[in-house]
Amino acid sequence: MKYAHFEPSVEKFAEKRGLPKTKVTKLKKAVDQWLDSVRIDPWYPAGLVAAESMGEPATQATLRTFHFAGAAEVSVTSGVDRMLEIADALRKIKTPSMRIYLKEPYSKDEDKAREFALSIQETYLKDVAKISEDYFSREIRIDLDEGAIEDRGLDKDTIVSKVAAKVKKKVEPEGNTIVLTFGEDMPLMKLRKLRMSLEKLHLSGIRGIRFAVVGKDGDEYVVSTSGTNLKAILKHKAVDHTRTISNDIHEVAEVLGIEAARYVIIEELKKAYGDMEVDLRHFSLLADLLTYDGYYEAVGRTGVAGKKGSVFARAAFEETGKHLTEAAIWGEVEHLKGVVENLIVGLPVKVGTGRVKLVMKLGE
Amino acid sequence: MSDAKVYINGRLVGFHKDPLKLVDAIRARRRSGQLPYTVSVTYYDTTNEVYIYTDAGRVSRPVIVVKDGKPLLTEEHIKALEEGRIRWKDLVRQGIVEYLDPEEEENAYIAPDYEHVTKEHTHVEIHPAIIFGVGVASLPYSERNLSSRNLHGAKMLDQGLGLYAANFRLRTDTMSYILYYPQKPIVRSRVADYMNYDRRPSGQNIVVAVTPDLYAMDDALVMNLDSVQRGLLRAVFFRTYTAVERRYPGGQRDRFERPTEDVSGYLGEEYYHAIGDDGLPIPETYVKGGDVLVGRTSPPRFLEEVTQFGIIEENRTESSITVRMDEEGYVDNVLITDDPNGSRMVKVKLRQEKIPELGDKFAARGGQKGVVGMFVPQEDMPYTAQGIVPDLIFNAHSFLSRMTVSYLLEILAGKAGALRGRRVDGTPWHEEPIEDLEAYLKSKGFRPSGKEILYDGLTGEEIKARIFIGPTYYQRLKHLVSQKIQARARGPIQILTRQPTEGKAREGGIRFGEMERDTLIGHGAAMTLYERLVEESDKTTILICEECGNVAVDDAIRRERYCPVCGSRKVQEVEVSYAFKLLLDELKALGIYPKVVLRDKA
């Protein structure tokens, strides 16, 4: 077969259908022919077509994001908002989220999956208790909320011991109330600071994961989170680290490397476009462009467009004056290779028919 | 709760403990005539604020006051009104009717009519149609339409050509249109009477056949050519050109006169045919685009030169007012007067007949607009058994998604009204019963549905389907193709960039913009793009020095080409866009040395 990498799938298909040998060769030929026909021409303006193909449906998409009422859902930015996040390589995305695949037995047992989800949710003391201070008697009062503690899958004793470790003092709870009394010499400022640090006392879970819910993917249980910490979650023994992924592309690039980030860009673009039909290859071209420098960068003047080799192309985009003066200072040379450059000068663009030179065979 | 803030005309004046009591007290005084009826008072419980307005510029409307579920206006009042014992003023003074402004409407609960009044209501409408604005309420049957359609209809109402002012012959509006034979609509709304629509109508009752037609696709209209030639919806367009004899510092001034050949910028004999020796046009002469309407000369820009004989030769320049390139017509009126500075001013009114043509826009009421797609001679139009030929064919597909019921009812009502010779009332919520109209049609031998047997004008065969046909009020809208059409092959260019000018008034080109550019690149049509953006635009040949890359010069007298910077004679011709040459010049002006490196064409 001419396109060898298609051979296994064609053979698999033939085997499934039980096609005879002669038909298989015929099929291979037909597939080759079809692939020839869908191949783009030389000097095809793939970048522009990709840009228009992704840009046009985006103008039609609403800026609305869908939020699902109720607790057991992780809301994710979608539509134009998300497209912009990806293309502009925003460091702080609106809804960072992870999709955690689990190892057995967690993946098959709903209760175990729930338990896991609960255990990774970050919990601080302020989530399970009301903390108040009294400057007159120099006291800090912690009123534990039994219901909240149970909801978070914690127990009172560990909380008490953690508080004790924090304040470096013996702590004796009375019912659900812990009263920390300090002496006269305790400065009020220090009391206040202690209260504030107690509020942020980490009790359980993985930092960064604000919320985790269990969902189902086929026959296994999967945990979706709001907030991410890929590095920490991949270390967890219950997690299937081969499939677990975050939608924070910068994080993925840092933890798993740039190729993984490229993959996430494509997947996230697919999700952002939803049911608008855009060819996968446009996404992959954009993903390549965003990552080919070895790190994830935006398309704008700080990223891809700002790093173009041509002065005119950069000047035509944004900050015209800046690019022209800098080019003058460094003595840059414009080679007139791209589209905009040639348009500025008034020459045919070097794509399509503009690139082809006609050669005539004489004497035939 | 804290005290309510009290604002008068938007300014905080104080606080009040019991805002509801305050509001009630003010209203009671207004109703008893102690306060002017234009005062409005509103209480917002959400923000705990009282707004009192007494200033001008608020739109207010009258409603009947309801007390304890009973409207104050009774039969007795109406009887007294009819007998002339009391007047509207009395009703307002007694607090039976009061004027609400938009602000106070927020506090009112207004019943649409007497039947729907409940205990909670504070007011009742004088007529339910008032809940629409003037525009929508003046459209017949508008209560049966989608609100969006009514909005479209009301918007187009003020684009309709008609008799906008009875003194139009004396007026000097920059632009104005007059419809030749405006008619009162057969199907009317009584609300339209209050804006004297019957005295200043803007349309005609024309016979419409509702049927699908290829040439009526996508809101196109098929028109009867003979109807148009008989004067259907014909209009006249006036444009007033203004010329002033300007005064310049130094005592010089413009002069209205017929420019002589020695005037600089003299246009040519044929352009001055419409004007007399005083420079003013002769009424009822026909002028074309470019012809001079008012001949005028201006003093020279710079001071006169003294010739060798010591005589000051005045070299005046031509500054005549010419007819716009895309207009023509007859000189209707010439008015000579003074402008506010005391300079002589001439206003010339140009008159042009506008016969409906392909692409002109027409609209029925209720938002059904369309442009003419084809004119069909009367003999080819379908006709009824009685020989009625429609003036217009309206596409039946226009109803499906828009659901403009008013259009259908207007045809039916118009037909009945035309037959009985009396106009039909289509006021929203106050219509003549449709059943009566249907019965009347039946009694005159027509189908009560309004449908008729039509015969194909081309073949004479009976059209299988029954066609809905009848008179409808149609407006001609002010969007005329003759004033919008624009095309250019060659024409003026901008001095700076040498690219074609922009805009219809400047004979401009149509911009081949960025998105259009993208389509051609997307197709790989590089040479087509080159043609659009360079060949057809600002292509120039410049000379480039091979040695230093600067733009070289061609000395035509000494017949040599050389580089003015390095003196080299190795110079090449290069075809670029003028914009690029300009860029090079501007860079040089900034102190940047852009070097053009040449290479052989591969």
Is any Cβ of chain A less than 8 angstroms from the Cβ of B549? no
Res A267 pLDDT > 70: yes
Assigned domain for B104 exists: yes
Assigned domain for B423 exists: yes
Is residue B347 part of the annotated active site? The answer reads yes
Is any Cβ of chain B less than 8 angstroms from the Cβ of A344? yes
**CATH number for the domain including B339?**
2.40.50.150
Is any Cβ of chain A less than 8 angstroms from the Cβ of B576? yes
**Does B270 share its domain with B288?**
yes
**Does B338 share its domain with B364?**
no
Half-sphere CA count of B516, side-chain side, radius 13 A: 9
**Does B461 share its domain with B412?**
yes
Assigned domain for B58 exists: yes
3-state secondary structure chain A: CCCHHHHHHHHHHHHHHCCCHHHHHHHHHHHHHHHHHHCCCCCCCHHHHHHHHHHHHHHHCCCCCCCCCCCCCCCCCCHHHHHHHHHCCCCCCCCCEEEEEECCCCCCCHHHHHHHHHHHCCEEHHHHEEEEEECCCCEEEEEECHHHHHHCCCCHHHHHHHHHHHHCCCCCCECCEEEEECCCCCCHHHHHHHHHHHHCCEEECCCCCCEEEEEEECCEEEEEEECCCHHHHHHCCCECCCCCEECCHHHHHHHCCHHHHHHHHHHHHHHHHCCCCCCHHHHHHHHHHHHCCCCCCCCCCCCCHHHCCCHHHHHHHCCHHHHHHHHHHHCCCCCCCCHHHHHHHCCCCCCHHHCCCCCCCCCC
Is residue B479 part of the annotated active site? The answer reads yes
**Buried b / exposed e along A133-165 (16+ C-beta atoms within 10 A):** beeeebebbbebeeeebeebebebeebbebbbe
Query: How far apart are the CA of B574 and the nearest CA of chain A, in angstroms?
Result: 10
Contact list, B579 vs chain A (CB under 8 Å)? 344, 346
Strand order in the sheet with B296-298: B255-256, B296-298, B317-318
Please judge whether A353 and B525 are an interchain contact, meaning their C-beta atoms are less than 8 angstroms apart: yes
Which chain B residue has the Cα nearest residue A349?
B526
**Does B331 share its domain with B466?**
no
**CATH number for the domain including B385?**
2.40.270.10
What is the rounded CA–CA span in Å between residue B50 and residue B24?
11
Cβ–Cβ under 8 Å, residues A286 and A265: yes
**Does B241 share its domain with B228?**
no
A31-40, A203-212, B325-334: range with lowest mean pLDDT: A203-212
The per-residue pLDDT for A67 is: 52
Assigned domain for B436 exists: yes
Cβ–Cβ under 8 Å, residues B458 and B466: no
Residue that has been written with the tokens 């120099």 in this structure:
A138
Is any Cβ of chain A less than 8 angstroms from the Cβ of B598? no
What is the rounded CA–CA span in Å between residue B567 and residue B551?
12
**Does B335 share its domain with B251?**
yes
Q: How far is CA B413 from CA A105, A290, B419, in A?
A: 78, 66, 10
Assigned domain for B182 exists: no
ipTM for the whole predicted complex goes beyond 0.85: no
Please judge whether B580 and A345 are an interchain contact, meaning their C-beta atoms are less than 8 angstroms apart: yes
**Does B397 share its domain with B530?**
no
- Per-residue pLDDT reduced to its tens digit, B93-152: 989 999 999 999 999 999 998 999 999 999 999 999 888 888 899 999 999 999 999 999
The per-residue pLDDT for B477 is: 95
| Chain B interface test: which of A333, A342, A344, A347 (most B C-beta within 10 Å) | A347
The per-residue pLDDT for B438 is: 95
Measuring CA to CA, which residue among B470, B456, B466 is closest to residue B390? B470
The per-residue pLDDT for A63 is: 54
**Does B9 share its domain with B112?**
yes
**Does B366 share its domain with B469?**
yes
Mean pLDDT score of chain A, rounded to an integer? 85
Domains of chain A, start order: 4-38 (no CATH), 43-93+247-307 (no CATH), 123-204 (3.30.1360), 311-354 (1.10.150.390)
Res A171 pLDDT > 80: no
Q: How far is CA B267 from CA B245, B278, B293, B347, in A?
A: 19, 17, 13, 22
Please judge whether B526 and A343 are an interchain contact, meaning their C-beta atoms are less than 8 angstroms apart: no
The per-residue pLDDT for A187 is: 83
**Does B119 share its domain with B10?**
yes
**Does B212 share its domain with B117?**
no
**CATH number for the domain including B573?**
3.90.1800.10
The per-residue pLDDT for B602 is: 54
Last residue of a domain, one of B313, B329, B354: B354
The per-residue pLDDT for B53 is: 95
Last residue of a domain, one of B429, B448, B476: B476
Assigned domain for B533 exists: yes
Assigned domain for B12 exists: yes
Please judge whether A346 and B534 are an interchain contact, meaning their C-beta atoms are less than 8 angstroms apart: yes
The per-residue pLDDT for A65 is: 52
The per-residue pLDDT for B307 is: 62
Contact list, B517 vs chain A (CB under 8 Å)? 343
Last residue of a domain, one of B354, B369, B399: B354
**A351 closest CB neighbour out of B517, B521, B587:** B521
Q: Which residues of chain B have pLDDT under 70?
A: 1-2, 302-314, 601-602
- 3 state SS of A69: coil
The per-residue pLDDT for B305 is: 59
What amino acid is encoded at B24 in this protein?
Answer: D
| Chain A interface test: which of B497, B514, B518, B537 (most A C-beta within 10 Å) | B518
CB within 8 Å of chain B, chain A residues 32-51: 41, 43-45, 48-49
Query: How far apart are the CA of B551 and the nearest CA of chain A, in angstroms?
Result: 14
β-partners of residue B462 are B455
Catalytic one among B347, B397, B539, B570? Answer: B347
Is any Cβ of chain A less than 8 angstroms from the Cβ of B577? yes
The per-residue pLDDT for B165 is: 92
β-partners of residue A142 are A131, A178
**Does B194 share its domain with B278?**
no
β-partners of residue B243 are B346
Query: How far apart are the CA of B217 and the nearest CA of chain A, in angstroms?
Result: 26
**CATH number for the domain including B32?**
3.90.1070.20
Q: Which residue range forms the structural domain that includes residue B377?
A: 150-155+189-233+358-476
Burial of A271 per CB tally in 10 Å (0-12, 13-18, 19+): middle
Please count the residues of chain B.
602
| Chain B interface test: which of A49, A343, A350, A357 (most B C-beta within 10 Å) | A343
Cβ–Cβ under 8 Å, residues B472 and B407: yes
What is the rounded CA–CA span in Å between residue A20 and residue A203?
65
* Residue B448 burial (CB count, 10 A): 16
Res A62 pLDDT > 70: no
**A346 closest CB neighbour out of B525, B577, B592:** B577
What is the rounded CA–CA span in Å between residue B362 and residue B477?
5
Cβ–Cβ under 8 Å, residues B503 and B388: no
The per-residue pLDDT for A238 is: 85
What is the rounded CA–CA span in Å between residue B116 and residue B120?
11
Which chain A residue has the Cα nearest residue B536?
A346
- Per-residue pLDDT reduced to its tens digit, B356-398: 999 999 999 988 999 999 999 999 999 999 999 999 999 999 9
Please judge whether A349 and B583 are an interchain contact, meaning their C-beta atoms are less than 8 angstroms apart: no
Q: Which spans in B282-404 are helix H?
A: none
- The domain tally of chain B equals 4
Contact list, A328 vs chain B (CB under 8 Å)? 587, 592-593
What is the rounded CA–CA span in Å between residue B28 and residue B89?
17
Assigned domain for B481 exists: no
Contact list, A337 vs chain B (CB under 8 Å)? none
